[in-house]
Amino acid sequence: MGSVSPSQTSLPPSLQHKVFQPNPTGTPLSPTPKTPTLFTPLSIRSLTLPHRTLLAPMGTYSSVNGHLTPWQYTHYSSLLSRGPTLTFLEATAVTPEGRTSPLDLGLYSDAHIEGLSKIIDFARKEGQKIGIQLGHSGWKGSMMPILPGRKMEAVRDEDGTILLDSMSPKEPLLSDIIH
């Protein structure tokens, strides 16, 4: 790959930005028996990772109505291009009221697919693996983001009404279970 000119355009668009870096970031070019275990491959069932630096799911409280925002795209794409071979997106709620806060990432409508697809495409182009932590906050949901200096409090409307309505455990109705 070293002799490829930066002006070469015959590669498919998905590969053009990888001309000078054929392997995912962090992959040792010439592993030896002394290569630290961290930089050796790891196989988990059918998944083989070229090295062992992973990113745990970490909430960013940066979504709008559950959508991945440009800030989150930048955050995750910059991490993906720098190293973790397997990146987990932050806890992603499967229902609106299952978000821990209104700023949580969500995957509870088809409209959320587009934003998530963009970061998945980016991960694939980088040769990195990406996962997602699907979750539901249960009765602990509908709180304001736990940020420094902020106490735990419910999300309320201007008139004081608690929004999202998942503040306490609720006995499921039969109609919630049988559809």
Ligand X SMILES: Cc1cc2nc3c(=O)[nH]c(=O)nc-3n(C[C@H](O)[C@H](O)[C@H](O)COP(=O)(O)O)c2cc1C
Restricted to residues 99-118, the positions that interact with ligand X (CB under 6 A) are none
- Among the listed ranges 50-58, 121-129, 145-153, 171-179, the one in contact with ligand X (CB under 6 A) is 50-58
Closer to ligand X by CB, 137 or 166: give it: 137
- Among the listed ranges 51-59, 74-82, 137-145, 168-176, the one in contact with ligand X (CB under 6 A) is 51-59
Per-residue contact string for residues 124-143; x = within reach of ligand X by CB under 6 A = ---------x----------
* Residue of 4, 15, 38, 58 that binds ligand X (CB under 6 A): 58
140-144: Cβ within 8 A, 24+ apart: 140/100, 141/93, 141/97, 141/98, 141/99, 141/100, 141/101, 141/166, 141/167, 142/97, 142/99, 142/101, 142/102, 142/166, 142/167, 143/100, 143/101, 144/101
Two structure tokens written together for 58: 């970490």
Closer to ligand X by CB, 19 or 88: give it: 88
54-55 and 129-135 beta bridge pairing: unpaired
* Residue of 24, 50, 59, 106 that binds ligand X (CB under 6 A): 59
Q: For residues 50 and 41, is the Cβ–Cβ distance under 8 A?
A: yes
Per-residue contact string for residues 83-102; x = within reach of ligand X by CB under 6 A = -------xx-----------
Site size toward ligand X (CB under 6 A) is 7
Question: Distance (Å, rounded) from C-alpha 77 to C-alpha 80?
Answer: 5
Question: Distance (Å, rounded) from C-alpha 104 to C-alpha 113?
Answer: 15
Q: Which amino acid is at 165?
A: D
Closer to ligand X by CB, 31 or 108: give it: 108
152 binds ligand X (CB under 6 A): no
Neighbours of 3 (CB within 10 A): 5
Q: Which residues bind ligand X (CB under 6 A)?
A: 56-59, 90-91, 133
